[in-house]
Amino acid sequence: MISIREVAKRAGVSPSTVSRVLSGNARVETDTRARVEKVISDTGYRPNINARSLRSRSGQLVGLVVPDMQETFSAIIHHAEHEAFRMGFGLIVGNTNGDPEKERAVIADLLSRNVDAIIFSRVSDSSHVADTFRGRRVPIVAIDRGIEIEDVPSVQLDNTRAGELVAELFLAGGHREVGMVMGSQNIRLARERSDGFLKTLRSAGIEIAPNHLYEGPFEFESGIVAARRFLASGTLPTAIWAQCDPMAVGLLHVFLEEGISVPGDVSVVGMDNAHLARMVYPALTTINQPLEEVCAHAFALIGRQIAGQEASSSPGADSDQILIEPDLVMRSSYRALNRKEQV
């Protein structure tokens, strides 16, 4: 089996540099990191987990805590497993099923297993995660559903900007009667998405009618219920934003059943750019959330904490508060009423 010294020799670096690359240390030159990673890939090198565990009394494990196993979080698990493998860690996944008490129990169980770090997406504002981690020295990183504690490293999408992007799309396309299917507003990212969307519309003098707003869990069934309520109201918006792709697919499902044309009668826009956004018909226009990038940043922050480095509080490559810019993915479920936009 190839050793870390052999990897270092082939890459023309020191063994400590190889260790820094494996730990996600940010203070490695880009070309050096690429050279080391190529040697690791070519040789199939894997760190000696047993030896490292004996030295550190660690299981070389990272815990990943998610609120459910649906589309977005299944993708997060996929990318997190890839990053864990790359860094020589095993991954334990805990599903809290949206239950704050189960979340507390899952984290406590992971801590009892002496995991090296925990990456988590909390249940909601009712989460006990802050109390559970208090006094613990294990490295942690919050992803997706953020936490309002500045000294907890985090990687999040700019959800306010996501809402702004959709509102700007609707306004530019001439839509004035619009609707929104919101996630539960006791979840910070859902509030941020709603705020960005509503404030941008208000700045253009547009208020959404109460019967064109629906709040529910981030799931397919919420889109089903919302679509039926919109139809029952007697007036259908010309464009609707659903704050996750499964919600948007629920809208499409009901509209198809009822003979409502998308985007002929109503445009539908989703959120997350999940795999299913390309599979449905019409294909969903949506906001992309680069989950592979989220996981890469999260494990880099974990590696930096394990290495004992301090991260900067200011934005940038060394920051421990990372905000990722969203982008719009145009597909066939949206059309501009004024025909100025080509989609």
Domain regions of the chain by residue span: 1-33, 53-152+292-324, 159-289
**pLDDT at position 242, please?**
98
CATH 3.40.50.2300 is right for the domain spanning 53-152+292-324: yes
Helix pair 4-11, 30-43: axis angle to 10 deg: 130
**pLDDT at position 154, please?**
87
- The tokens describing 191, both together, are 């509030």
| Equal fold, 53-152+292-324 vs 159-289 | yes
Residue 5, burial from CB neighbour count under 10 angstroms (0-12, 13-18, 19+): exposed
The CATH T-level fold of domain 159-289 is Rossmann fold (3.40.50)
Q: Which residues of 108-140 are buried (b: 16+ CB within 10 A; e: fewer)?
A: eebeeeebbbbbbbbbbeebbbeebbeeeebbb
Name the DSSP letter for residue 183.
P
Give the closest residue to 224 by CA, choosing from 69, 97, 232.
232
Query: Could you report the average pLDDT of every consecutive run of 10 residues in the chain (343 residues)?
Result: 80 81 70 87 66 50 86 86 88 87 86 86 76 74 73 88 98 96 92 96 96 95 97 94 97 97 97 93 96 91 77 50 93 89 43
